[in-house]
Structure 1
Amino acid sequence: MSFDFLTIEKHLGYAVVTIDRGDGINALSRKLMRELTTVAEDFVDDLETTAIILRGTNTIFSAGADLKDPEGNTNKGGALIARRHALKIGPDMCGAWERLEQITICAVEGFCIGGGSALAMACDWRIAGESAHMRLPEVPLAMNMSWHSVPRIVRAVGPSKAKLYTILGEKLGAPEALEWGMIDFMTKDGKALDKAIELAEKVAALPPISVRMSKESINMTANALNQATTFMDRDQFMLSSSSTDFPEAVDAFLNKRDPKFTGG
């Protein structure tokens, strides 16, 4: 299957999925999110691939949800049930990647923002170049953090740091992200993919059924309460994004009037 924004390279035992929307920031439009969901689902029956690397370009992973995507405005018009259904696209994408039996490795260069960070946290391992940073701008933009990502963040860094990262919306550079446990490895800039390939080759050399069963056991232990604690986060998003703060904050973000929101 061909994609507009993704390329898939298959090697012996592992694959590399590259996101390149061609906009310089890899903003997650609804079309791109559908492609990311589809490519994950395509790997479900792939018994030859034991590890999957997910990466952006050499300079950017993703700036997060595309706030300018005309298809993505779920707050104007339409029946409430249709608007609520439309909000499934982000969590469905992250869930598709998290459910994969293959080991998933996210290689990050540049910035990894909002929904891009949520997608990275749905992968098993994260690698970042030393100048890369992660950030969640949702709360400063009058939104809650959704896409079932809060338990994944808490699992990685603990509740106190999860609150710092999620609520303040400040940049978390790669060195601090490594110290916190948000990423697993830090490399020289431009070398995140090389490290990801090194890990993927190690995984690919292992008995695949043992890898898959081990991942499933660990995930079931770690994620047992995830759905129970986040099943309403898209409803919370609908509520928070209906406030008067939301359009004002998004407008300031899109027009870069607030220096806090600039630079990814």
Structure 2
Amino acid sequence: MESRFVEIEKGLGPEGRIAVVRFDRGDDINALSQQAMRELRDVPREFEDDLTTSVVILAGSAKAFSAGFDLKDPEAWQGTPLPIGARIHRQRLGPRMCKAWQDMDQVTIAAIEGHCIGGGAALVVALDFRFCGKGAHFRIPEIELGMNMSWGSIPRLLALTGPARTKQAVMLASDRISAAEALDWRLVEKVVEDGQALAAAVAFAERIARQPPIPVRMTKLSVNRLAHALDDLAAHMDADQNVLTGLTEDYKEGTSAFREKRRPRFKGR
């Protein structure tokens, strides 16, 4: 498949063991359209048989990692409503993208500048490490749009930040999580000057790349198996819940309020 929004550069760093993946739609918004998600989902396939690369860095644009799901994507909002089965299938693209990155043999690092919202946050918590500029911020707006937080994100957030912070981040959907708060919450590993997230990620990647590759891969696999052993129990109904909440009046109110730039009024139905 032709790649319009994603570029892969391999052979960097010590022994050529570092790769950088750049996701950039050229608009400083970097929303996740269906096409963008397919391209990002397919990136891990480029590394399945790659025994040279030890570390893969994922970076957004210089001003934005991602604004999350593309609400203006014509492919996502077709004129004729899809049957339930087709809607569930389409909703599984985001989870498959995130799971593909989590399951990579290589160590993965997110370099985050600017906003990292919704699906963008869901993607970065599927990676092993996160570095961000001090002006970066995170937000998980799904609940305020009348839908659930899906894509397998809740178990991953829970593993990083704990129960209370996960509930706070997801339930208080309007709240921005600043870079400093993200560091305090253990959502990111390091905060650097704006514009330096990629450089910091590369410096960290170089340290990993100098280690023997085989035990590095073994360590990642063991830690991930333990940390995410119960993820499927918590997230297996994500897509179904997303379709279900999409049928509610609150979803219509939440998305209408977003488009009209007003506060929503939810009724629980």
Structure 1 segments (4+ residues) deviating >4 Å: none
What residue identity is the alignment partner of 2:70?
D
Partners of 1:79 and 1:258 lie apart in 2 by 30
Correspondences of 1:205-220 after superposition (within 5 Å) = 205-220=210-225
Correspondences of 1:96-245 after superposition (within 5 Å) = 96-169=100-173, 170-245=175-250
Partners of 2:207 and 2:2 lie apart in 1 by 28
After TM superposition, give the deviation of residue 149 of structure 1 in Å: 0.6
What residue identity is the alignment partner of 2:93?
I
Could you say what the CA RMSD is over the residues aligned between the two structures, in angstroms? Answer: 1.5
Partners of 2:242 and 2:262 lie apart in 1 by 24
Deviates more, 1:147-156 or 1:18-27: 18-27
Kept in 2, the 8 Å contact 1:74–1:83? The answer is no
Encode CA deviations 1:117-149: one digit per residue, 9 max, x unaligned: 000000000011011000000001101000011
Q: What SS does the corresponding residue of 1:78 show, helix, strand or coil? A: coil
* Cα distance change on mapping 1:177 and 1:75 into 2, 3 Å: farther
User: What count of residue pairs does the alignment treat as equivalent?
Assistant: 259
Kept in 2, the 8 Å contact 1:75–1:83? The answer is no
Partners of 2:245 and 2:59 lie apart in 1 by 31
The answer on 1:32 being equivalent to 2:36 is yes
Partners of 2:179 and 2:82 lie apart in 1 by 41
Encode CA deviations 1:131-177: one digit per residue, 9 max, x unaligned: 10000000011010000110000110100110000110110000010
Deviates more, 1:26-35 or 1:82-91: 82-91
What residue identity is the alignment partner of 1:27?
A
What residue identity is the alignment partner of 1:190?
G
Partners of 2:8 and 2:141 lie apart in 1 by 30
1:21 to 17, 20, 25: 25
Counterpart of 1:262?
Answer: none
Partners of 2:245 and 2:82 lie apart in 1 by 18
Partners of 1:138 and 1:244 lie apart in 2 by 15
Deviates more, 1:99-108 or 1:74-83: 74-83
Deviates more, 1:220-229 or 1:37-46: 37-46
Partners of 1:17 and 1:2 lie apart in 2 by 15
TM-score if structure 1 supplies the norm length? Answer: 0.95
Q: What SS does the corresponding residue of 2:30 show, helix, strand or coil? A: coil
Deviates more, 1:78-87 or 1:249-258: 249-258
Kept in 1, the 8 Å contact 2:26–2:61? The answer is no
Partners of 1:233 and 1:223 lie apart in 2 by 16
Unmatched 5+ stretches in structure 2: 265-269
What residue identity is the alignment partner of 1:174?
A
After TM superposition, give the deviation of residue 258 of structure 1 in Å: 4.2
The answer on 1:67 being equivalent to 2:92 is no
Partners of 1:76 and 1:24 lie apart in 2 by 31
Encode CA deviations 1:170-228: one digit per residue, 9 max, x unaligned: 10000010001011111011110111000111111111111100000000000000011
Correspondences of 1:38-77 after superposition (within 5 Å) = 38-73=42-77, 77=81
What residue identity is the alignment partner of 2:110?
C
The answer on 1:5 being equivalent to 2:31 is no
Unmatched 5+ stretches in structure 1: 260-264
